[in-house]
Chains A and B, each alone.
Chain A
Amino acid sequence: MTRYILKRILSGIFTIWVTTIAVTLLIHLVPGDPVQIMYAQSQSTTPEQLEQIRHQLGLDRPIYEQYLMYMSRLLQGDFGTTIRGRQPVLELLLGRLPNTLLLAFASLVITILVGVTAGFFAAHKRGTWVDTTLMTGAILGISIPSFWLGLMLMYIFSLRLGWLPVSGTDLKNLILPAMTLGLANAAAVSRLTRSSMLDVFTQDYIRTARAKGLAERMVLLRHAFRNGMVNVVNMLGLQFTYMMGGAIVVENVFAWNGIGRLAIQSIFQRDYPTIQGFILIFAAVVVTVSIILDILYAWIDPRITYS
């Protein structure tokens, strides 16, 4: 087990290290002069000032030196400053991160509750109208763009019914974005749960459990459900990654003040230090949460070999 955990942590560190290289290269892949592009939209800067900024960012040095500089600054917690306003990037991102995490976890809960319930009942009532209805709903759910679902929910619950606010950052404002993101992913989870449950239903131990006269409720809950969930739990890490990705879009629909909204704004402003910081923080969060979920999974499922 210890070896497995170590291996997962090492691979996580490797991923983040590769990300730091990618992020350093990012600015060099920009067609044209990144410094000029960054400052083109805002202040009137003279060529001398641009040269000075280039020097400050270290862009006039060889690329390996830039990387070493960037790394040593990162390790000291210095992610640079924003182009406009000169705010420390790390501070800005960490200030917004809790909002994104809150949205992602709230959505994950909705995804699991709705997706697993729907998938379980579809499999249990296989071939009936319940199954058909739920799975039709699921394929529709997969096909509806989350930003559109968000707008439609906003239209119904905020504009027509007036039950919920359109946007903002207190807890009541979390309901619609979390529903949007949660339902969009619940569709995929319900399909996964259904096929996983169908596999379990044909297993010998289910037939044995029924044959020994166990109540159907017990067969379903104790034997089928618990085993069917193994696959679903295994997918949690991946699902969380999807939630983080989906949050970028949904935050922008509801003006939810997370790092996704900040990322889009900084892409518009060509604020590369912030974009770089965003990618790093995003990668770090996704990698860390995946490792934690994987370790939990290995701990829960006794069949996993920790090698």
Chain B
Amino acid sequence: MVPPATTAQPTAPSLTQTSLNKARRFFSALLRNPGSRIGLFLCLVLVFTALFAPLLAPHSPTELGVGRALTPPNAEFWFGTDEFGRDLLSRVIYGSRLTLKVGLIAVGISMTVGVLVGLVAGYAGGWLEAILMRTVDVLFSFTETLIALAAVAVLGPSLTNAMIAVGISSIPYYARITYGAVLVEKNKEYFKAAQALGAQHGRLLFRHILPNILSPIIVIATVGVSIAVLSASALSFLGLGAQPPSPEWGAILAAGRDYFKTAPWITTFPGVAIALTVLGFNLLGDGLREALDPQQRQ
């Protein structure tokens, strides 16, 4: 393959060079922080587990009677078995796929809608701004939990609906952050220049403003994955998300409650898995915030 970029125009290589340098500086700033190294590692472990679940899991996640019911962790069943003799390790491994999916889809929903609302409100101003941001304010005064519950109450309990519900519940956050950032960018020289040159609305919004406000959005989205994973697993735990026999971690925990006294491992391992996943995205988000914010970087 011939790299097309080098033949394009004479300025291209130097541009690539500076953005490469920028990326390198960003990554070295990110990896200097031990917290973000751990975070990145935990996130990569989750992605790896989710991708290679069929290869990693010793058994099927839903096959009954693989071992004796309620076997404590041992050499054969590292995480023990549940009340139906299913291998808990395999269930937790397959559960990582659902967790990753929930995190990405929920954040996808809240980020897309929230950023769009914030962009339009901040850019358009006037009555559109008033309506959109007042709505966001009202949503903000409830908790995400309440919004998610209301959404599940409407849609009915299922993992897909829980993902949508969790996605909807975080829209106000993204809208507010984006809105605030747009207001700042709108008063900058480059924007006024582009506007004076007669750039179209779409171009102003997506080519000028959006790239300049991406860093705070990326940070929020990273931490947002951890919030989404927590909320969705809570919904599943309450019975409003994933339904049995799904190996979703919150659902495994809920089912394990009945055997809490005799088989505490059923509730222990999925809980640790959720906590490590959330920890990973939290640490990575903290690290990204520091690496992207030059004021905090020394």
Judging by beta carbons under 8 Å apart, are A267 and B142 in contact?
no
Check A97 for interface membership: any CB of B closer than 8 A: no
Judging by beta carbons under 8 Å apart, are B267 and A151 in contact?
yes
Residues of B within 8 A of A30 (CB): 154
Residues of B within 8 A of A154 (CB): 260
A283 to B233, CA, bound (A): 24
Judging by beta carbons under 8 Å apart, are B143 and A145 in contact?
no
A272 to B152, CA, bound (A): 12
Contacting residues of chain B (165-221) with chain A, CB-CB under 8 angstroms: none
Q: Mark A262-292, 1 if CB is under 8 A from B, else 0.
A: 0110011000100100010011001100100
Residues of B within 8 A of A81 (CB): none
Residues of A within 8 A of B150 (CB): 22, 26, 275, 279
A142 to B278, CA, bound (A): 8
Check B274 for interface membership: any CB of A closer than 8 A: yes
Judging by beta carbons under 8 Å apart, are A148 and B260 in contact?
no
A249 to B157, CA, bound (A): 16
A287 to B230, CA, bound (A): 25
The size class of the interface chain A forms with chain B is 35 or more
Residues of A within 8 A of B138 (CB): 14-15, 18-19
Interface centre among A245, A263, A268 (most CB of B within 10 A): A245
Check A143 for interface membership: any CB of B closer than 8 A: yes
Residues of B within 8 A of A29 (CB): 154
Residues of A within 8 A of B274 (CB): 145, 148
Judging by beta carbons under 8 Å apart, are A245 and B226 in contact?
no
Residues of B within 8 A of A244 (CB): 143
A15 to B278, CA, bound (A): 32
A287 to B239, CA, bound (A): 28
Residues of B within 8 A of A15 (CB): 137-138, 141
The chain A residue with its CB closest to the CB of B278 is A143
Residues of B within 8 A of A144 (CB): 271, 275, 278
A207 to B121, CA, bound (A): 43
Q: Mark B43-60, 1 if CB is under 8 A from A, else 0.
A: 000000000000000000
Spell out B's residues near A (CB within 8 Å).
Answer: 35, 134-135, 137-138, 141-146, 149-150, 152-157, 226, 230, 233-234, 237-240, 250, 253, 257, 260-261, 264, 267, 271, 274-276, 278-279, 282-283, 286
